[in-house]
Homo-oligomer: A and B are copies of this chain.
């Protein structure tokens, strides 16, 4: 029982660490969008925070629980620090769009793990828990894209939501089957990340309507 307690505390710390890491990674991706738009330091901060905590906010609103960053300012603080650092570093990054896509893919993989674990912990059955993992992963980027005035990546050609859903589903099922959380997280997150990167590299697309001639 002592061991379980330690494990559970470690698990909590691990999930919390990955969750803040995901927020930082998405904050980098948001700050790179602000950089491409030529914004000032406030714009960097806004895009970093909104992209970093947006997905979890949508998840918490839908689950009807208090929004996580109202209780604990760790995520928001981490995003703000990221924004200030990016403010000095971003203009040096040569191809900001490609870098942004890499960070976005990494954040997607991390958030679909932590979002699914949180929803499962909250008592949701597997299907909604996996959906909530996906929502946590894609929500922040969707809000970022709507505010930046472009069509969210989810609706553009490449595979985006499917890898997130697959990763979250692996985490939920593995957790149910009693696999160690570290193994499950690496498997789920790895699947999401590799799939997304391959889709970016090979321009994989979901099937198009047969008679489609886009109007």
Across the interface, do B64 and A67 meet the contact criterion of CB distance under 8 Å?
Answer: yes
- Is A41 part of the contact surface with B, judged by Cβ < 8 Å? yes
Q: How many copies does the complex hold?
A: 3
With contact pairs A42-B159, A46-B155, A157-B40 given, residues A124 and B206 touching in the complex (Cβ less than 8 Å): no
Q: How near does chain B come to A11, taking the closest CB pair, in angstroms?
A: 24
Convert A139-160 into 0s and 1s, putting 1 for each residue whose CB lies closer than 8 angstroms to a CB of B. Answer: 0000000111101101101011
Across the interface, do B210 and A128 meet the contact criterion of CB distance under 8 Å?
Answer: no
A91 neighbours in B (Cβ, 8 Å): 209-213
- Is A13 part of the contact surface with B, judged by Cβ < 8 Å? no
In the complex, the chain B residue whose C-beta lies closest to that of A35 is B209
CA distance A215 to B36 in the complex (A): 5
The interface stretch among A55-63, A102-110, A173-181 is A55-63
Q: Which of B36, B70, B161 contacts A62 (CB 8 A)?
A: B70
A76 neighbours in B (Cβ, 8 Å): 131
- Is A37 part of the contact surface with B, judged by Cβ < 8 Å? yes
A-B contacts, 26 of them at CB < 8 A, read A35-B209, A36-B214, A38-B214, A38-B215, A40-B157, A41-B209, A43-B155, A44-B209, A61-B62, A63-B66, A63-B67, A63-B70, A64-B65, A64-B67, A70-B128, A73-B127, A73-B128, A76-B131, A88-B209, A90-B209, A91-B209, A91-B210, A91-B211, A92-B211, A146-B146, A146-B147
Instruction: Rank and list the top 6 A-B pairs by shortest CB-CB distance, nearest first.
Output: A38-B214, A91-B211, A40-B206, A42-B206, A64-B66, A91-B209
Contacts A37-B155, A46-B161 known; list 8 others, CB within 8 Å: A35-B212, A40-B208, A41-B206, A64-B66, A73-B127, A91-B213, A147-B151, A148-B151
